[in-house]
A and B are shown apart, each in its own frame.
Chain A
Amino acid sequence: MLLFGQILVNGILLGGLYGLMGLGMGLVWGVLKIVNLAHGALIMLGGYALYYLYTGAHIDPFLALPVAMILLFALGYVLQMFLLNLIVRSAQLNTLLITFGLDVVFVYMAQLLFSADFRTINPPYAGSNVNFFGVVVPYVQLASFIVAVVLASLLFLALDKTRTGRAIRATAQNLVAARLYGVNPKRIYAITFGTGAALAGAAGGLYGIVSQITPYIGVTLTAKSFVIAILGGLDKPIGVVFGGLILGIAEAMASLYLDPTYTDIISFGLLVVVLVARPAQLVGRA
């Protein structure tokens, strides 16, 4: 029973981080209809940004997280404004191709600049934990879970309450009507993609704290984010966090009660189940 409780806690904490990974993917997908294959690469770049802020500028990783997010926002904004806006309304294959190309460019740039060495963001308190009646809760994982939930809530509020947020939703729902009301879709797209990149950056930083960064972590994370975004649905940010939780718990349970080699079967099996049972998820109603 204690083991079950521990595994459940592990799954939930992992799921929070997964949710954050899926959040940026889901936002960009839902609003821009771009399945961003470079999402994992943005996560990786966020990880490096935080790594250098911590090891180079000696800023505590959790305090430096907003800085990494701003950097990634700027990158995302520029990418969308000057590159992706050119093809955002063309066939989906084009957006897939261009984001795939971006992924390749980012990964190889990262190897040139940062080498293939394993990097970890290892503040002195990484690895410390608190024990609740025999169930160990690692502080850093707990903190990253909280950050994920806070960011999802902020995103929800921003989309719901702010003018820009409403413009983003309006653009997603009806482009023509939004334009008639004076929304500049290019700018809105750039803000949306930038926000997606910033969320990826936050996820990457946290990933570097609980796991490790190499130029090659992105591919797996793009696939995971894809699954999570679909599991959670593209309409509400909090749904994506739930998608992450479901995946995190399912993987943790499967590792223990089935076999640890089954984790990929579980995540992609879940994807197939959702696609069969709720095909509307794919269309997205942001």
Chain B
Amino acid sequence: MRRMIIPVLAAAIALAGSASAQERQITLGAAVQLTGRQANTGRYYGDAYLMAVDHINQKGGVTVGGTKYKLALRVLDSQSDVNLGVRQYVQLLTQDKVNFLLGPFSSNDALDDSSVAEKYQVPMVQGGGASTQIFSRGYKYVFGTLPPADDYFASTIKMMGQLDPKPKAVALIAADDSFDVSVANGTRKLLKEAGLELVVDKQFRENNAEFSSILSLTKSKNPDVILWAGHEGEALNFIRQAKSLDVSPKMLWSFTVGVPTADFRKALGADANYTFGMTPWLPDKSLKDDWFGDADAFAKEYQQRFKYAPDYHAASAVACVETFAKAITAAGTIDPKKVRDELAKVDFQSLYGHIKFQPNGQISLAQTVIQIQEGKVVPVFSESFLGKPLYPMAGWAKR
């Protein structure tokens, strides 16, 4: 926690010296998994918020009704404990009196934490929870920059229709947390519409390390495709155990997480090859941004500053901060209700993509299908093919 606050304070003090003596400030608060089981992904949020706030302040901050305000950040470490996170969000609003809320990582956390925002009627823009559960409760103060979990496999299934040979039998394996339940529900519907047969449909316990039974069952059904939804650590285990039990789908497998992440590819080495995944974001020069220039410049600066590469989580987190900056300026006030109304109307281009919320508060962004080819992430398909997929994937013996 201290790690986060000190640089922001230092930057704020340094800037305060050059600017007017009486600095006006808007504080954004969040409880993020900086330690604990989900620290590996949680760090994207802590680091990206920091970087976005710094950049916006460097460019003069946020104009509110003709007056310049600086952004400040208060990030607490929720230690990957959902209940602690909820208490911290209450603390942020009642004791620390932050002006607005940014979100945590993961749907389970966002689902509970966003209730605090709704209760206190302070808007939260969160880039870590994609489950449709978060947005199906009629909440007015919760906005999300991740595309709906239901559609994570939509582009993959569309691509499957255009591949040769065309896959028929699919195994769907998903964890039992909020995000993955949403993914599985959406995917079942998409598979049915696409006329694909579901031969294995299994749910596993979140944070489970052991997949041998599910893998053995899957092998006995011999599917063309495995679609897998869960957390990154579980994906690693699934792939490693699949190799040791010699389980491989005939044509392709795709994972909701991990594939865009450098850490994942490093842990798996060559075993990561052929793996499909998806991302709503790639660090592309075509994604222009008011504060960072473009997504590519952002990714380079992020890598340099934090010594690891950003993925879509980080970009989504930056977009949350930028969304607040836009909405507050449009509202011309920091009144939470008025800012909330402007958030519902934002429509701008960010380094993450086009930010415009649907009536339920969630964004709509297409997922680009990606594949790991010789250790590199290659964009393969969005509306049509972007690159050549390695297809059908080779069995373990032939690699």
Residues of A whose CB lies within 8 Å of any CB of B are 2-3, 6-7, 10-11, 14, 108, 111, 116-120, 122, 126-129, 131, 136, 138-141, 210-212, 214-217, 220, 251-253, 255-256, 259-264
Question: Which residue from A6, A136, A212, A261 sits with its C-beta under 8 Å from B205?
Answer: A261
Write the nearest CB–CB distance from A141 to chain B, whole angstroms: 6
CA distance A141 to B212 in the complex (A): 11
CA distance A118 to B37 in the complex (A): 10
- The answer to whether B210 touches A118 (Cβ under 8 A) is no
List 9 A-B pairs, Cβ < 8 Å: A7-B216, A10-B216, A116-B39, A116-B43, A122-B267, A122-B268, A122-B271, A127-B240, A261-B176
B396 within 8 A of A: yes
Besides the known contacts A116-B35, A261-B176, 19 further A-B residue pairs in the complex with CB atoms under 8 A apart? A2-B220, A3-B220, A117-B263, A119-B267, A120-B267, A122-B267, A126-B244, A129-B246, A138-B244, A138-B245, A210-B244, A211-B240, A214-B37, A220-B209, A255-B210, A260-B202, A260-B205, A260-B213, A261-B204
- The answer to whether B213 touches A256 (Cβ under 8 A) is yes
- The answer to whether B212 touches A263 (Cβ under 8 A) is no
CA distance A46 to B35 in the complex (A): 20
Residues from chain B with Cβ under 8 Å of A214 in the complex: 37, 40, 233
Given A117-B40, A216-B37, A263-B205, are A3 and B216 also a contact pair (CB < 8 Å)?
A: yes
**A-B residue pair count with CB separations less than 8 angstroms:** 119
10 tightest CB-CB pairs across the interface, nearest first?
A: A255-B213, A138-B244, A127-B243, A116-B39, A10-B212, A260-B204, A116-B40, A256-B213, A216-B37, A6-B216
Write the nearest CB–CB distance from B295 to chain A, whole angstroms: 24
Residues from chain A with Cβ under 8 Å of B293 in the complex: none
- The answer to whether A252 touches B220 (Cβ under 8 A) is no
Main secondary structure of the interface of A (DSSP, over half): helix
- The answer to whether A259 touches B243 (Cβ under 8 A) is no
B208 within 8 A of A: yes
Residues from chain B with Cβ under 8 Å of A261 in the complex: 176, 203-205
Residues of B whose CB lies within 8 Å of any CB of A are 35-37, 39-40, 43, 80, 176, 202-205, 207-210, 212-214, 216-217, 219-220, 232-233, 236-237, 240-241, 243-246, 263-264, 266-269, 271, 396
CA distance A211 to B243 in the complex (A): 12
Write the nearest CB–CB distance from B36 to chain A, whole angstroms: 6
What residue in chain B is nearest A224 (Cβ atoms)?
Answer: B209
CA distance A255 to B213 in the complex (A): 6
CA distance A10 to B219 in the complex (A): 14
Given A3-B220, A127-B240, A214-B233, are A118 and B214 also a contact pair (CB < 8 Å)?
A: no
Write the nearest CB–CB distance from A133 to chain B, whole angstroms: 14
- The answer to whether A263 touches B208 (Cβ under 8 A) is yes
Given A6-B216, A127-B244, are A14 and B233 also a contact pair (CB < 8 Å)?
A: no
Given A108-B35, A118-B233, are A129 and B203 also a contact pair (CB < 8 Å)?
A: no
What residue in chain B is nearest A130 (Cβ atoms)?
Answer: B246
CA distance A108 to B80 in the complex (A): 13
Write the nearest CB–CB distance from A176 to chain B, whole angstroms: 44
Question: Which residue from A129, A141, A212, A260 sits with its C-beta under 8 Å from B267?
Answer: A212
CA distance A251 to B244 in the complex (A): 19
CA distance A120 to B237 in the complex (A): 9
Question: Which residue from B37, B208, B268 sits with its C-beta under 8 Å from A120?
Answer: B268
Write the nearest CB–CB distance from A247 to chain B, whole angstroms: 11
Residues from chain A with Cβ under 8 Å of B214 in the complex: 255, 260
Write the nearest CB–CB distance from B82 to chain A, whole angstroms: 15
- The answer to whether B220 touches A111 (Cβ under 8 A) is no
Residues from chain B with Cβ under 8 Å of A11 in the complex: 212
Write the nearest CB–CB distance from A33 to chain B, whole angstroms: 30
- The answer to whether B216 touches A118 (Cβ under 8 A) is no
What residue in chain A is nearest B242 (Cβ atoms)?
Answer: A127
Residues from chain B with Cβ under 8 Å of A255 in the complex: 204, 210, 212-214
Residues from chain A with Cβ under 8 Å of B35 in the complex: 108, 111, 116
CA distance A14 to B209 in the complex (A): 11
Residues from chain B with Cβ under 8 Å of A136 in the complex: 245-246
Question: Which residue from B176, B220, B237, B245 sits with its C-beta under 8 Å from A211?
Answer: B237
CA distance A215 to B233 in the complex (A): 12
- The answer to whether B213 touches A10 (Cβ under 8 A) is yes
What residue in chain A is nearest B43 (Cβ atoms)?
Answer: A116
Write the nearest CB–CB distance from A258 to chain B, whole angstroms: 10
